[in-house]
Structure 1
Amino acid sequence: MTHKDSGKADAPTVIRGSRSGNSQISGAAVVRGTKIQDVNASRAPTQPTIYALDLSSLPQPRPFGIERRGAYFDIDQSRFELFQNGLRLHLARWPKLGYSTAIRAALDSDDQSGTSVMIPRDAFARLNSEKDIWLGGYWTQDWAFETAPIERFGEDGETVQLPRIKAPGKLRSGFKYFVQNARSELSEPGEYILNSNREAFVIPTNESDQFEVAIATTLLEISNAHDIVIEDVAFEKTLGTTIKIVDSENITIRNCFVGRSGAGAIRVTGGRNVVIDRCVIRDTAETAVLLSGGDRPTLTPAGHAITNSIVTDFGIDSRTYRPAVQVTGVGIRVEGCFLSRGPHSAIILAGNDNLIRGNEISAVVQETDDAGAIYTGRDWTHRGNEIDGNFFHDIGMRMSAHARSPSEPSFVSAIYLDDQESGYRISRNIFWRVGRPIVIHGGRDNLIEENVFVANTHGAIWLHKRGEALGGELERRLRAVPYDRDRWATRYPALATLAENDPGSPVNNKEKDNILLGHGTLVEFRAPEDAQYWAQRDTTTAIGRSRRGWPVTSPEDLQRYLSAQFPGTHSIPVRSKALSDLQFSAH
């Protein structure tokens, strides 16, 4: 859709599906399989029903294949996606769930020509006669996932060589990894292997021989248009990002399902006032929703928003730095949403005057470390952002991939202000069953007020002097904006004097009127010398855990307890509007 398809403010162009929720735009073509007995003559599974899919007659935007994924790959589209019975199927893998840590870096593990690792001999024996085997894992850091194909099996019966890993740092031994696209592991419903760009083998999820293969990259693209409403339609089953909106104004996507994508669900860049409202967004290989816009030099807001929506099962294939919602720019809102079930962050945030309000965020940062449910970092000038009235619970895993025992905790937080991120207002949030609720990793001028911290395992606020003073990347970013003049000087006066006010230290962070329930302290310091940067007297109400424990087993219990104990204050709803008002008609 272009400017020719635009409507008017009082008479927008409307594309509306059936109110029954049956309207669907799909990017997949139907393929029927042929039942076979063997996949591989030497080690074919004998129990499950296996179908061979002939892909040769399908249009292929790029030759079908497997794409390298991970934090350091910018994936615009997948090369192959397979569906059945409304589900996106997955490559056969070992182990079936989770990861193995039985892997070692070889002596010449990482050079300019590639990466070498040593896997168990029994796994090597199963795999060395197969082709197009892939490994995925956290090779160098617990926040940097990456996949790579095996290029060569060594003669020693345990060493495999892969392309050079892009993640920074030294290759480790004992990191979390899995094997995928292995014929020897094809054994359960919903699994497949891609044999070539012309053939796949799959175990069905039911008795049907009918499957769907994605052949469309994008289903809806709106460019340089205005005043358009899309509602009551399901958009699904694509190789690339399902909906793209570029340099457009006054666009609303309402009451839609968007998902089952080999890349992202909705990508908004430029323009103004693009709103995603009351949508269900699920099962995306990469970032689910990107909202980017506004002008930082003039602090002109974009007005983009995602509201009252449900976003789950995101970053499925790239695993890290592929959030439910990525916000980049000025004046963007994430409000009233339910964000859940992701391996890494729910929201990644950059820019100014953005608002994260009234969301429920749970079951994220499920397999990564040194990460936060909301993550932002490395810029003194990201000012004016507010994180207000959200409910964070059940964030993170119990311990990191390399923890020697459960007593060695992981570094997972609800809100992670990393690498001197500054100028945030964090207010009226509830943190329940979170390791570290708020991390201030070297930043300044952050205000933390009227929050409730319940049954968390560490201090409510974690503070550390970390980072650089002048002369580095942060100063370069400071000089790139008019921080000491125009609207910036009025809006963020502390920036004008930052260079003269100990720029490398976490000064002027404040808290007031918070409530701390349970064990732990208000502020936790990484090192004793960090305490000098928290000079204020704490104003938090602290209530210790009773011998009977907390009378709280559900979010609703927590709401009742807080209302009874603190009437008239901290009245933050624990359920997002998206969950409390489930009236979606599309899927």
Structure 2
Amino acid sequence: MFIKLVITLTFATFCSAAAAKDFYVSPSGSDKLNGLSPSVNFWTKTGPFKTLDRAQQAIRQLKAAGKFNQDITVHVGKGIYQLQSALRFDDRDSGLPGQEIQWVGEKDASIISGGITLKNCQPYESDNPNKILSCPLDANTVVNIKGDNNNRLEGNAPKFELFVNDRRMHLARWPDNEWAHIRVPLNEKTHFRVFEKLPSFSGDLSKAQVHIFPGNDFYDHYAGVSTLDLDNNLITLSSEAIYNLAGGRRFYLENIKAALDNAEEWFYDQTNNKIFFIPSSNLVPKNIVLSSALNLLMINDASHISFKNLAFRYTTAHAIRVHGSNNIVFDNIEINNIAGQAINAIENTSITISNSNIHDIGYGGIFISGGDRPTLTPSNNTIDNNRISDFGSILFGLSPAIEIQGVGSEITHNLISNGNSSAIKLHGNDHLIEKNEISQVCLQIGDCGGIYSGRDWTYRGNIIRYNYLHDFLGYELDINNFKKTGSIIYRYSGARGIYIDDAASGFEVFGNILVNSGTMALQIGGGRDNRIENNLIKIDQLAILVDTRGGYFNWEIPRSSLATMPVHSAIWSKKYPALSAPMSQDTWPEGNTIQRNIIITPGVSNVSIVRYWMPKQTNTIANNLLWSTNGNIKVDFGVLETRASGGNTTWEDWISRGFETNSLIADPCINLVGNKINLTCVKSPISKIGFKPIPNDIGLIF
């Protein structure tokens, strides 16, 4: 019996071992080995491959020989795997359902790099007060480096970046840390006078470019400089600005060797093939790297592949690109020091990005699309439990941490912080945005939302639920002051917590906590059929704004979208019945519900806490609880049917008009610690409005 048991266990162990195929890769390995062992034995030619390409080739050979009948795991050992071009995956690299191919590294130790390390850096000249270092380059090192094909990146700057001790350096610039400003445009697109005095730069200025917000606070781009007229304080761009130039708008000049005078600045001397830079104060520059590879990983028409415990660094465009693929998993990965997006995934299904750390990104963090809108087929893409920070470092505006398109994606339990742009931007239908924590976003732009969508009546079925947004304001020109006085003042303002912009409709915004999240906690910009319910808002500015859009908005945009989508089909009319119903006034915000929300404010004098510009009919405002520590609640309103309006009207006057019903002013007895709601009295009045508990598990799950 004992012998039989031993034989049975031995056979079971053998079968278990045979249920998976393992390959190994290590920087100390060799592509002449068989890749079947983590340790090297040159006598038997057993040991790890040296390159990722060789491991990929081994899997393809195995599949071509008809021997793919088990899971395959590629164990990527610790070390740096330097790539000059992307590792490309297609259907030949795919797994099968229940038979996946996994690429697994050692966390924080297996690094896939598109960088080139610079050596032999020395102090520049004997008289060197700025402590400039000079690094020689081989003439062939940078000649083939390409940058992202992006019309917002024009000019003569290098296509690569410089990183020292893993910190992004900035091209030599003026002003060093602040912005310069347009005094007056001399034509619409290219020529302007500068508000500040231009420095008397010496030397070659032919490679100079500007980073500019030409006409607003949300759209920036880079342009080359045709001429710098230092005597007359004039700049002429070599290509047209995307928006018309406007007085007071900001820019800085960069890529000027004469401006190399501040820590963490650099310049590429193309003539002499040298990199010049000034390291951070009191830090020895130990790791000096140029980004070189355009991308690191490209996946097309592949499936059932996972990547775990890997780090991706140093690209001149997106780190990872995925197209037309399904069942791809990125888990516990790190992506940083990237010029473009961390992950750009177009037209995919069942893509999972989880438990990862994405930071120091030039554009946005993750862009993902999938599903089919006409049939409302979901993509089942998931972005869960990731930490995303320090994004929008190159392009500040329109570079969100996460952007989704299509149908049926889920964004859950992410921590998003410290970004120049929006946190989450969504387009399409039936997305779930749930239990994310968002803070310190919109740092360099105005007209910005922590969670943002806009410009489409047909974006229906989206749920924004149980998120915690706090502590951000935006950044924008005080345009009224500029027009009155000519003085340029930028203020921390212009952000919204949840921004349903430009006629976006059919959103459910439920159970969110918004604390000092922008100039407005929540805005509906002319949209329809939105449900704003059970949210807790604590703010010293505007809590909720519903507007009817100004004359600037082109209503043909949502009308066109409505005409091109099958809103009267069986699936659409059943799922979104309000969308196919007649509109009494299509430019009015109709069918919205605002109820059971709690608003807490210090009650700033003569400042309205809510602003409703909407028709009384079809909209519902009811059962809300408002509380001011000084008892001062003001309302700004406009009733569109009667044209009755009031600015900073009293609460009593507002209620007497019968627009808002069953709402009350009372102390909710709430002590808010982070996203945890603690009641400080036994009989809190929140029960009178039917306020429902908000879950505690918001944010990262450790």
Class of the TM-score when normalised by the shorter of the 2 chains: 0.7 to 0.9
Distance 1:370 1:571 in 2: 31
1:293–1:302 contact (8 Å) kept in structure 2: yes
Equivalent of 2:249 in 153, 175, 181: 175
Matched residue, 1:415:
498
Matched residue, 1:374:
451
Shift of the alpha carbon at 1:469?
Answer: 11
2:100–2:304 contact (8 Å) kept in structure 1: yes
Equivalent of 1:233 in 295, 305, 310: 310
The total of aligned residue pairs comes to 559
AA aligned to 1:486 is A
Per mean C-alpha deviation after superposition, the further-off stretch among 116-125 and 483-492 is 116-125
Distance 1:476 1:517 in 2: 40
Distance 1:483 1:395 in 2: 37
Matched residue, 2:572:
488
Shift of the alpha carbon at 1:388?
Answer: 0.5
Q: 1:563 to 1:325 in 2, by over 3 A?
A: farther
Shift of the alpha carbon at 1:94?
Answer: 2.4
Shift of the alpha carbon at 1:412?
Answer: 2.1
Shift of the alpha carbon at 1:447?
Answer: 0.4
Matched residue, 2:93:
5
Equivalent of 1:462 in 533, 546, 558: 546
1:285–1:314 contact (8 Å) kept in structure 2: yes
Superposition map of 1:66-145 within 5 A: 72=152, 79-101=159-181, 103-107=182-186, 109-110=187-188, 115-119=190-194, 122-126=197-201, 129-145=204-220
Superposition map of 1:155-170 within 5 A: 156-168=231-243, 170=244
AA aligned to 2:471 is D
Matched residue, 2:380:
303
Matched residue, 1:30:
117
Per mean C-alpha deviation after superposition, the further-off stretch among 537-546 and 371-380 is 537-546
AA aligned to 2:98 is D
1:463–1:523 contact (8 Å) kept in structure 2: no
Distance 1:120 1:45 in 2: 31
AA aligned to 2:166 is G
Is 1:559 matched with 2:676?
yes
Is 1:15 matched with 2:103?
yes
Shift of the alpha carbon at 1:143?
Answer: 1.2
AA aligned to 1:290 is F
Superposition map of 1:128-277 within 5 A: 129-154=204-229, 156-168=231-243, 170-196=244-270, 198-205=273-280, 206-208=283-285, 210-277=287-354
Q: 1:22 to 1:374 in 2, by over 3 A?
A: same
Equivalent of 2:515 in 400, 424, 432: 432
Per mean C-alpha deviation after superposition, the further-off stretch among 201-210 and 346-355 is 201-210
Superposition map of 1:321-470 within 5 A: 321-397=398-474, 400-402=477-479, 404=481, 410-434=493-517, 435-466=519-550
2:541–2:609 contact (8 Å) kept in structure 1: no
- Match of 2:428, SS? strand
Distance 2:128 2:204 in 1: 16
Question: 1:487-537: CA deviations, max 9, x gaps?
Answer: 111111112124x43222111111121111123766304x6xx46468534
1:68–1:148 contact (8 Å) kept in structure 2: no
Question: 1:172-203: CA deviations, max 9, x gaps?
Answer: 12212212122233233321012328432112
2:495–2:520 contact (8 Å) kept in structure 1: yes
Distance 1:416 1:487 in 2: 28
Is 1:51 matched with 2:139?
no
Q: 1:575 to 1:81 in 2, by over 3 A?
A: farther
Is 1:572 matched with 2:694?
yes
Distance 1:554 1:178 in 2: 44
- Match of 1:440, SS? strand
Distance 1:535 1:264 in 2: 40
1:49–1:204 contact (8 Å) kept in structure 2: yes
Distance 1:319 1:343 in 2: 5
Distance 1:50 1:551 in 2: 60
Distance 1:407 1:208 in 2: 35
Distance 1:554 1:191 in 2: 46
AA aligned to 2:503 is Q
Distance 1:553 1:447 in 2: 24
Distance 1:201 1:139 in 2: 30
Distance 2:232 2:149 in 1: 25
2:478–2:490 contact (8 Å) kept in structure 1: no
TM-score by length of 1: 0.87
- Aligned alpha-carbon RMSD (Å): 3.3
- Match of 1:404, SS? helix
Distance 1:407 1:562 in 2: 39
Equivalent of 1:541 in 602, 606, 625: 625
- Match of 2:559, SS? helix
Shift of the alpha carbon at 1:120?
Answer: 5.8
Matched residue, 1:474:
558
Q: 1:536 to 1:270 in 2, by over 3 A?
A: closer
AA aligned to 2:251 is Y
Distance 1:424 1:238 in 2: 37
Distance 2:250 2:93 in 1: 49
Distance 1:312 1:344 in 2: 11
Q: 1:69 to 1:522 in 2, by over 3 A?
A: same
Question: 1:337-370: CA deviations, max 9, x gaps?
Answer: 0111122211121100011110011111112122
1:387–1:427 contact (8 Å) kept in structure 2: yes
Distance 1:459 1:121 in 2: 37
Matched residue, 1:584:
none
Q: 1:403 to 1:312 in 2, by over 3 A?
A: farther
Question: 1:524-569: CA deviations, max 9, x gaps?
Answer: 04x6xx464685342111122259xx99999735625458766996
Question: 1:389-445: CA deviations, max 9, x gaps?
Answer: 001111223764546399998432111122111110000001101221111111110
Distance 1:396 1:152 in 2: 36
AA aligned to 2:389 is T
Unaligned runs of 5+ in 2: 1-88, 483-488, 632-666
Per mean C-alpha deviation after superposition, the further-off stretch among 154-163 and 560-569 is 560-569
Shift of the alpha carbon at 1:483?
Answer: 0.6
Matched residue, 1:585:
none
Distance 1:86 1:553 in 2: 43
2:548–2:587 contact (8 Å) kept in structure 1: no
- Match of 2:210, SS? strand
Distance 1:157 1:391 in 2: 50
Task: Return the structure number with greater relative CO, CA threshold 8 A, min gap 6.
Answer: 1
Distance 1:74 1:95 in 2: 20
Shift of the alpha carbon at 1:82?
Answer: 1.5
AA aligned to 1:54 is L
- Match of 2:249, SS? coil
TM-score by length of 2: 0.73
Matched residue, 2:390:
313
Shift of the alpha carbon at 1:255?
Answer: 0.5
